Chains A and B, each alone.
Chain A
Amino acid sequence: MQNLTINDAIGQAIAEEMRRDPSVMMFGEGVATKRHELLNEFGARRIRNTPLAEGIIAGAAVGASTMGMRPVIDLLFAPFMTLAMDELVNSAGKLRYMSGGQFRFPLVAMAMTGTGWTVGAQHNHNLEAWFVHSPGLKVVMPSTAADFKGLMKSAIRDDNPVLFFIEMAMAYETGEVPEGEHLVPLGKAAVRRAGNDLTLISYGKSMRACETAASQLAEKGVFAEVIDLRSLKPLDEDAILASARKTGRVVVVHEANRMCGVGAEIAAILAEKAFDSLKAPVLRITSPDVPAPSSYPLELAFAPQADAIVAAAESLLAPTAMTSRPVLTANAG
């Protein structure tokens, strides 16, 4: 094991994949400046700065990928992905199907998002569900340094376009990362903590709030199972259903807003496939339906916090949970 920042864990994953596969390359605005260790090792043909133009960055990745390259592109901050939407959604997501399976698009598009840097809504927008809703794309949003490495390596090897989201607040935090070959499969959730009383399902930075909440609940004798989705598409339905059938109570937590978010999909899956096991309504703790504010106190109010999760969990465990609607907290949106 080594201790790496999440940013370095990603860099290590890319370096290892570039060593084993000459078709892997990386480009984006400032990539060669900021990842100079990659530039030094692999040279200016495979690690490139680009002009400031997300559409052509993504378009070039889509075109190169179908011809046998495996590009990793850094689109910097998630809102800038909107300038690459046509290339990612209309081309990468559709042209395989529309061509009757003639083409494949093994590319990774990464971007940062999330509260913590008070950068405001044009740098921070948890728009991961947009891509989940788009056919032909895969979406990952890890929460541990080890998973960032393992999922990046799997994403690069995958033959489909993968959107790779990084919480900016976590990018320079360190964590344990296995050395060398460490692959985390796409589409597999991780049970971070086992418990029988209720299930907390989350991803990204909100996992921390869930783990804090789970610790606080444990002190009160309530044992929450905590599931880290890691991949949002494919979504690990089996893990979600297995835990819900065991505990009967589920809270989904994410920083993206509620309406049509990943939590909505999970609630629907549970209603369709685990209705008989549910002892209480599925709850969602999310940000409200507003653009992310800059002001620090508003950022805190915007993002799901542990106390709201504890309150939601306790409301589900109250004897009346099935009959009276639990009171949602302020940031339950």
Chain B
Amino acid sequence: MRIALFITCFNDTLFPRTGQAVVRLLERLGHEVVFPLEQTCCGQMHFNSGYHDEALPLVRRFARVFRDEPLIVSPSGSCVAMVRDHYPHVAKESGDPELIEAVRTLGERTFELSELLIDVLGLGDVGAYYPHRVTYHPSCHALRMLHIGDKPLQLLRAVRGIDLVELPAAEQCCGFGGTFAIKNADTSIAMLDDKLTNVQETGAEVCTAADNSCLMHIGGGLSRQRAGVSAVHLAEILASTEAEPFGVPAVGSGDAITVVRA
């Protein structure tokens, strides 16, 4: 199947590994991945920060770039939620009937990775191997906007060699929230502290999620606390096989989130 990758500006720039993992995973499963190079950003950051006029051209751009793609995947729950839940709203506010029409079907064609694997491709087991103790943080937008439920957990449970441990108070927000993490840094950090305590309580080596934004926040806190726990995107775990391990970023040295080139 032809699947267009929407990498997101955030992953493109900061977490290229995650994109590489998505490509490797989908190609291993026999699909054709295309990457429209004209894509930039879905506009979520601008929209959520309250710069709707600035978000609008990005929404237009996204709609144009992905207009003819039948199936779009993104390793970001929150960017998919932006496309599915907020695009219709942005389009409506713009009063542009063409845009309203253009975004109408976008939401139905755009999927978060675990949704794609389970709902579209009908896969529970992607044949991954990942011999590590892992805990899963359900990021808020994936959980409450996309309602992906336990889809990532279903996929993780099928991973061979994994020691999956439940995260206490998993559904509590980690405190990232985009510009909230900076504008309301103290509150954000108070929320993060509780998340970190819960992550560490599991004794996991790896904390995973469907959103690198939350993982950057959680991973940044783990690194600062020299917790010896890595933050790793779900795609990277699923991409890993016995023959071709995707690797865990080095931990323990204080640079837990140093990127290891694939």
B is bound to A: no
